[in-house]
């Protein structure tokens, strides 16, 4: 039996097509996936992301714990509310999950993890936390809405009392803050401006309806996927997993190797990779012909060798197909992709493909 | 509810077939199929002159989400692929039984009788049994 978010009944009422995603019954689209995509690029859309795991970590040694647990360094977080994107690695340097962690106080951090990995993450984190006496609480009492698009912050702020709405609009990028009963963060997964808002589950349906009445479109996981891929953002389980390390997943920038004495989980396995250079890399592909790139299609990158598409789709903004692909490190500017028995030409590009409504290609 | 015109024939794999009067047939995908696929972004149709067997994959329709083969409902020779769809695949979503036709085909001798096509009422039963 798939799990349901506090918005499940509303999704059904709104006519959403539901699919299983990481063990959750989630809306993939309401009317048109492409229409929902454009709504976010041009105005505003709202996504139910309550299936993601929200973990509160409390204890006097919580900073030291996170410096051990995460490949990025929470010491970078100087101001309360500031967020950090990081991989959580196993001892082999493989990616257990990618996540966001907020620094709230010296004894309280909040972490947001992927839906499909949340049970596994929780077990791993609790095991690692024992020696640090850090208390880990899963906040199943919260719903989370992502409101994204150039008009998103202005619309979402109208849901809050005046003073709190004004405070939300002063949040810096990648900062979250408790405003009344809600935790509002200026973060997202679309390449647009917006908020991710955690709120008591009982508030979620009314908040969604209010956003709709302000002209914010209901958007499903289908549009979320095309938006994140245009924005060049990885999807856990597609673009990286436990068998791949950050340096072959386009995530080397998130691994904090300095200071050298910080002994984070996975560090020992990554150091030889850093010294020798990764054998493979994650690149963006832009299809130069008609067709659609899809995950697992083979990439021919002669003379460097072969690779594989990890995520591929049709880009509604660029009106052509784009992909992320793991290829040999020496891959040059052009490759061919095997698409349904044919070899199609693609150009190697540096993601992102689209940011803030504009093509970067 | 899907639209199932009474004057067409159907397959269990959600193609429709229209008799054109000159002995040839026009083929497309049903309203149910286009709706299940979602927004189409790429359509590949066969070239005229190609000979196909019944059940042979002969066209591809791809939405943002997924790629799907279209099967020849009847054996015969392709007389045309819809030239409009390369630039405007969304026409299949908007008008699946009209401007969104995929191909025209001249059936081989006896091929129509051998194809086992469904009436509109029988196709509706297929949809009902799929929960569509």
Residue B1 lies in a domain: no
Residue A164 sits in the same domain as residue A65: yes
Q: Helix, strand or coil for residue A303? A: coil
Give the pLDDT confidence of A135-152 residue by residue, as tens digits: 999 999 999 999 999 999
| CB-based contact B40:B100 (threshold 8 Å) | no
| CB-based contact A142:A125 (threshold 8 Å) | no
Give the pLDDT confidence of A156-187 residue by residue, as tens digits: 999 999 999 999 999 999 999 999 999 999 99
Residue A55 CA to residue A113 CA, distance in Å, equals: 8
Is the bond into A352 cis (omega within 30 degrees of 0)?
A: yes
Question: Which residues form the domain of A55?
Answer: 1-231
Closest-CA residue of B relative to A36 is: B39
Residue B50 lies in a domain: yes
**Contact list, A291 vs chain B (CB under 8 Å):** 42, 62
Residue A270 sits in the same domain as residue A309: yes
Q: Which of these, A25, A17, A23, lies nearest to A222 by C-alpha position?
A: A17
Residue A227 sits in the same domain as residue A345: no
H/E element, A345: strand A342-349
Picking from B42, B45, B65 by the largest number of A CB atoms within 10 A of its own CB, the best residue to mutate is B65
Residue A237 lies in a domain: no
Count CB pairs under 8 A between chains A and B. 35
Q: Residue for token digits 């979620």?
A: A204
The shortest C-alpha distance from A75 to chain B (Å) reads: 40
Residue A169 sits in the same domain as residue A293: no
Q: What angle do CA A128, A130, A135 make, to 5 degrees?
A: 100
Q: How many domains does chain A have?
A: 2
For every one of its 361 residues, what pLDDT tens digit does chain A have, with 9 covering 90 and above?
Answer: 799 999 999 999 999 999 999 899 999 999 999 999 999 999 999 999 999 999 999 999 999 999 999 999 999 999 999 999 999 999 999 999 999 999 999 999 999 999 999 999 999 999 999 999 999 999 999 999 999 999 999 999 999 999 999 999 999 999 999 999 999 999 999 999 999 999 999 999 999 999 999 999 999 999 999 999 999 999 999 999 999 999 999 999 999 999 999 999 999 999 999 999 999 999 999 999 999 999 999 999 999 999 999 999 999 999 999 999 999 999 999 999 999 899 999 999 999 999 999 999 8
CATH code, domain with A300: 2.40.30.110
Residue A213 sits in the same domain as residue A265: no
**Contact list, B64 vs chain A (CB under 8 Å):** 33-34, 222, 226, 313-314, 316
The shortest C-alpha distance from A36 to chain B (Å) reads: 11
Residue A109 CA to residue A105 CA, distance in Å, equals: 7
CATH code, domain with B91: 2.40.50.100
Question: Which residues form the domain of B98?
Answer: 17-125
Residue A218 lies in a domain: yes
Q: Which of these, A360, A357, A336, A356, lies nearest to A348 by C-alpha position?
A: A336
Residue A98 sits in the same domain as residue A173: yes
Give the pLDDT confidence of B96-122 residue by residue, as tens digits: 999 999 999 999 999 999 999 999 999
For chain A, give percent helix, strand, coil, nearest 5: 25, 35, 40
Q: How many domains does chain B have?
A: 1
Residue A105 CA to residue A98 CA, distance in Å, equals: 22
Q: What angle do CA A200, A202, A205 make, to 5 degrees?
A: 110
Q: B129 CB contacts (<8 Å, ≥6 apart)?
A: none
The CB density around residue B125, as the number of other CB atoms within 10 Å, is 11
Q: Can you give the length of chain B in residues?
A: 132
**Residues A254-270: b if buried by 16+ CB within 10 A, e if exposed:** bbbeeeeeeebbbbeeb
**Contact list, B35 vs chain A (CB under 8 Å):** none
CATH code, domain with A33: 3.30.1360.120
> In this complex, which of B39, B60, B62 lies closest to A34 when CB atoms are compared?
B39
Residue A118 lies in a domain: yes
Question: Any bridge partners for residue A56, and if so which?
Answer: A110, A137
Compute the mean pLDDT over every residue in chain B, rounded to the nearest whole number: 95
**Contact list, A290 vs chain B (CB under 8 Å):** 42, 44, 86
Residue A191 sits in the same domain as residue A62: yes
Q: What angle do CA A355, A358, A359 make, to 5 degrees?
A: 90
Closest-CA residue of B relative to A322 is: B64
Contact B67 A33 (CB under 8 A): no
**Given CB atoms, is B39 within the 8 Å cutoff of chain A?**
yes
H/E element, A324: strand A320-328
H/E element, A273: helix A267-276
Residue A184 lies in a domain: yes
The shortest C-alpha distance from A21 to chain B (Å) reads: 14
Q: Which of A231, A263, A281 is the last residue of a domain?
A: A231
Q: A275 CB contacts (<8 Å, ≥6 apart)?
A: none
Residue A60 sits in the same domain as residue A149: yes
Residue B119 lies in a domain: yes
Residue B130 lies in a domain: no
Residue A241 lies in a domain: no
> In this complex, which of B44, B60, B64 lies closest to A313 when CB atoms are compared?
B64
Residue A282 sits in the same domain as residue A324: yes
DSSP letter at A173 equals: T
Residue A303 CA to residue B66 CA, distance in Å, equals: 31
What pLDDT score does B2 carry?
A: 84
Contact A32 B42 (CB under 8 A): no
DSSP states of A64-111: HHHHHHBSS-GGG--STTBEEEEEEE-TTS-EEEEEEEEEEETTEEEE
**Contact list, B60 vs chain A (CB under 8 Å):** 340
**Given CB atoms, is B42 within the 8 Å cutoff of chain A?**
yes
Contact B38 A292 (CB under 8 A): no
Contact A314 B42 (CB under 8 A): yes
Residue B132 lies in a domain: no
Residue B111 lies in a domain: yes
Residue A16 lies in a domain: yes
Give the pLDDT confidence of B3-38 residue by residue, as tens digits: 999 999 999 999 999 999 999 999 999 999 999 999
Residue B131 lies in a domain: no
Residue A3 sits in the same domain as residue A91: yes
Query: And the tokens for A91?
Result: 């001892």
DSSP letter at B23 equals: S
> In this complex, which of A290, A292, A313 lies closest to B86 when CB atoms are compared?
A290
**Paired sense of beta strands A45-48 and A217-218, if any:** parallel
Give the pLDDT confidence of A116-130 residue by residue, as tens digits: 999 999 999 999 999
Residue A36 lies in a domain: yes
Residue B132 has pLDDT above 70, yes or no: no
Q: Can you point out the beta strands (E) in B1-132?
A: 9-10, 15-19, 25-29, 40-44, 51-52, 57-63, 67-71, 76-81, 103-107
Query: What Å distances lie between residue A166 and A155, B49, B58, CA to CA?
Result: 12, 67, 58
Residue A182 lies in a domain: yes
Residue A125 CA to residue A101 CA, distance in Å, equals: 13
| CB-based contact A349:A283 (threshold 8 Å) | yes
Residue A218 sits in the same domain as residue A280: no
First-to-last alpha carbon distance for chain B, in angstroms, is: 7
**Contact list, B65 vs chain A (CB under 8 Å):** 28, 33, 222
What pLDDT score does B1 carry?
A: 66
Residue A321 sits in the same domain as residue A270: yes
Contact A34 B86 (CB under 8 A): no
């Amino acid at each position: 039996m798939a799990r349901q978010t506090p918005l499940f009944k509303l999704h059904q009422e709104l006519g959403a097509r539901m699919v299983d995603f990481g063990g959750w019954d989630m809306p993939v689209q309401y009317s048109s996936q492409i229409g929902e995509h454009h709504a976010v690029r041009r105005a505003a859309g709202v996504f139910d992301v309550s299936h993601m795991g929200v973990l509160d970590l409390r204890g006097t040694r919580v900073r030291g714990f996170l410096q051990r647990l995460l490949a990025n360094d929470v010491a970078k977080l100087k101001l309360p509310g500031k967020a950090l994107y990081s991989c959580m690695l196993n001892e082999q340097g493989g990616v257990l999950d990618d996540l966001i962690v907020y620094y709230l106080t010296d004894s309280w951090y909040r972490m947001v993890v992927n839906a499909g990995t949340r049970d596994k993450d929780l077990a791993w984190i609790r095991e690692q936390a024992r020696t640090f006496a850090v208390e880990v609480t899963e906040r199943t009492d919260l719903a989370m809405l992502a409101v994204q698009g150039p008009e998103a912050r202005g619309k979402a702020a109208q849901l809050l009392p005046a003073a709190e709405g004004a405070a939300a609009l002063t949040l810096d990028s990648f900062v979250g803050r408790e405003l009344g009963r809600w935790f509002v963060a200026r973060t997202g997964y679309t390449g647009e401006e917006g908020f991710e808002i955690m709120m008591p589950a009982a508030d979620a349906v009314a908040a969604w309806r209010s956003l709709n009445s302000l002209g914010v479109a209901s958007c499903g996981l289908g549009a979320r996927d095309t938006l994140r891929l245009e924005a060049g953002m990885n999807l856990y389980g597609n673009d990286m997993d436990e068998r791949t390390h950050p340096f072959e997943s386009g995530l080397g920038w998130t691994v904090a190797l300095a200071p050298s004495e910080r002994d984070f989980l996975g560090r020992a396995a990554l150091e030889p990779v850093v010294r020798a250079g990764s054998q493979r890399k994650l690149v963006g592909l832009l299809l130069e012909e008609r067709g659609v790139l899809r995950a697992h299609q083979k990439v021919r990158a002669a003379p460097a060798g072969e690779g594989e598409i990890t995520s591929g789709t049709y880009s509604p903004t660029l009106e052509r197909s784009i992909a992320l692909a793991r290829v040999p490190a020496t891959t040059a500017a052009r490759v061919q992709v095997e698409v349904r028995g044919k070899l199609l030409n693609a150009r190697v590009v540096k993601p992102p493909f689209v940011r803030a409504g504009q093509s970067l290609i | 509810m899907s639209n199932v015109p009474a004057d067409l024939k159907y397959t269990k794999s959600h193609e429709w077939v229209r008799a054109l009067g000159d002995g040839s047939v026009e083929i497309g995908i049903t309203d149910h199929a286009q709706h299940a696929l979602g927004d189409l972004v790429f359509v590949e149709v066969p070239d005229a002159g190609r000979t196909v067997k019944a059940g042979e994959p002969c066209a591809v329709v791809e939405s943002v989400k997924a790629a799907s083969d279209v099967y020849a409902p009847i054996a015969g020779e392709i007389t045309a692929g819809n030239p409009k769809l390369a630039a405007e695949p969304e026409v299949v979503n908007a008008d699946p039984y009209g401007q969104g036709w995929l191909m025209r085909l001249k059936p081989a001798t006896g091929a129509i009788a051998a194809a086992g096509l469904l009436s509109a009422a029988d196709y509706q039963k297929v949809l009902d049994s799929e929960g569509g």
